[in-house]
Amino acid sequence: MKGQIGLIGLGTMGENLALNIESKGFPVTVYNRTAERTRRFAERLNRAAQIIPTYSVDEFLDSLEASHRILMMVRAGQAVDEVLSVLTRRLSPGDIVMDGGNSFFRDTERRMQNMAKVGIHYLGVGISGGAEGALKGPCLMVGGPEDAYSLVESTLTKIAAQLEDGPCCSHLGPGGAGHLTKMVHNGIEYAFLQLIAESYDILRYGLGFGIERVQRIFERWKNSELSSYLMDVAAAVLGESDSDTGRPLVDLILDKAGQKGTGKWFSQTAMDLGVPTPTIDASVSARYISAHRDERLKAKTLLHIPQGEFTGGDENFVDALQDAVYSSVIISYAQGLALLKSASDEYQYKISLAEVCRIWGGGCIIRAKLLDQIRSAYVNNADLPNLLLDASVGSLLVNLQQNWRKVVVEAKSLGLPCPAINASLDYFDSYRRDRLPANVIQAMRDYFGAHGYERVDKEGRFHTEWLRD
């Protein structure tokens, strides 16, 4: 037996994808840098499984069918370059290498160009769904040469999550289009997680609810317009108790959020392209603030918070909070998709945002009921520069704004941080203003730096001699 697909990297994702690919009838050859991990994986396999464990790159390549189809699932960054440098020496023109990790899309571009020089097809495959998705059907966002995609399409579409309107797998464009889309997905994921965490904080420490009550609220929200995979996860984690102490597990988990870099890349790319994405930026920063725990502990004794009392009226306020979270989630998608559009234009990827919303509907971490409406907006207007300019999304936000404001005002008066809800409302309020105070910034820049300014009443560029006698 020869493997039809070769998989390198047996971490959480690699293992589960190997099992998924095999379950769809494709024999898989697997290899991992550390042999022990391969051995442990092989021991757990059913005897009949068409999975071939190998212990060297040579053995790996020899046990694959002649036209090599390889999926790398290794840590993003230098590990990908290291694996590629070993592989390329043994690959032949026409072979296909797919990077299924969370690589930065510009790195994928570079690697694709280098591989093309030696005739090897390279695809950047953004994969979302975590361990369960990898096993049962992830969302696959593919970028790279279309002819190479057509050679692996039947495998990728079979292993992806399946929806009524097709598999959650699509060739989204050339170059780094797939990994760019995955980076945007992760940026939205950062915001979604932060928004849920902020609502927990407000319910728990603003309204003083016990964790069981917060959990019941999340159970309700997960069946509302907020219906989404992450709301399901939120309700599930709040319901978990620690087996040693019997206490709610979240109470025992240290409040320092980790990250692997995709959120930071999102914000960096947004800054590079001049696309405002403050909700996602705030969510990335919130993780950094959480990581500075020692400083926070010192600051607690120095920086006193207002001794306010919650004035909001419980259940009405819970409904208001639900609207605030929902509005802010919409804003997060709006910012993410605005960046995706801008980057797609900049790099000429021609990514269809409607198709992105379709495949995000299943398998991935940010799947949500809301995506149907967002998708319709881009079906109606493929060139929509911002989701907020869609009439139905716009009017939805207009109707929600009163509750959204109420939550921000209440949280601020209590000294409770809600950076993502707050940044979302500020984004909404800035985006809908016909006149921002940037005129004052321009005047001051011209005063101290002679940067010049434009005028509302005449064409051209102007400068004022501000320091006249």
Nearest to 170 by CA among 368, 357, 375: 357
Contact region with ligand NDP (CB under 6 A), list: 74-82, 152-160, 247-255, 315-323: 74-82
Is 57 an interacting residue with respect to ligand NDP (CB under 6 A)? no
Residues 79-118 that bind ligand NDP (CB under 6 A): 79, 82-83, 101-102
Phi, psi of 389 (to 5 degrees): -85, -5
Binder among 24, 57, 130, 201 for ligand NDP (CB under 6 A):
130
Using CB under 6 A, count the residues that bind ligand NDP.
23
Of 15, 22, 109, 189, which one is the catalytic site residue? 189
In the complex, the smallest distance separating the C-beta of residue 73 from ligand NDP, rounded to whole angstroms, is: 5
Q: With respect to ligand NDP, which residue has the nearer C-beta, 39 or 350?
A: 39
Pairwise CA distance, residues 439 & 264, whole Å:
30
Q: Dihedral sign, CA of 146, 148, 151, 154?
A: negative
Contact characters 231-270, ligand NDP, x per CB under 6 A: -----------------------------x----------
Is 124 an interacting residue with respect to ligand NDP (CB under 6 A)? no
Q: What is the DSSP string of 337-365?
A: HHHHHHHHHHTT----HHHHHHHTTSSST
Pairwise CA distance, residues 38 & 17, whole Å:
14
Is 74 an interacting residue with respect to ligand NDP (CB under 6 A)? yes
Contact region with ligand NDP (CB under 6 A), list: 124-132, 156-164, 230-238, 344-352: 124-132
Is 125 an interacting residue with respect to ligand NDP (CB under 6 A)? no
For residue 48, how many other CB atoms are within 10 A of its CB? 6
Is 406 an interacting residue with respect to ligand NDP (CB under 6 A)? no
DSSP 206: I
Of 15, 22, 109, 182, which one is the catalytic site residue? 182
Task: Let me know if 15 is a catalytic residue.
Answer: no
User: Cα–chain-centroid distance for residue 16?
Assistant: 20
Token digits for 246?
A: 């019997």
Q: With respect to ligand NDP, which residue has the nearer C-beta, 127 or 207?
A: 127
Asked if 235 contacts 309 with a C-beta cutoff of 8 angstroms, the reply is: no
Type of residue numbered 264: K
Pairwise CA distance, residues 84 & 68, whole Å:
14
**Tokens 């991990």 sit on residue:** 37
Is 172 an interacting residue with respect to ligand NDP (CB under 6 A)? no
Residues 336-365 that bind ligand NDP (CB under 6 A): none
Token digits for 451?
A: 């940067």
Task: Let me know if 182 is a catalytic residue.
Answer: yes
Residues 22-41 that bind ligand NDP (CB under 6 A): 32-34, 37
Q: Dihedral sign, CA of 26, 125, 167, 189?
A: positive
In the complex, the smallest distance separating the C-beta of residue 380 from ligand NDP, rounded to whole angstroms, is: 31
Active-site positions read 182, 189
Interface ranges with ligand NDP (CB under 6 A): 9-14, 32-34, 37, 73-76, 79, 82-83, 101-102, 127-128, 130, 260
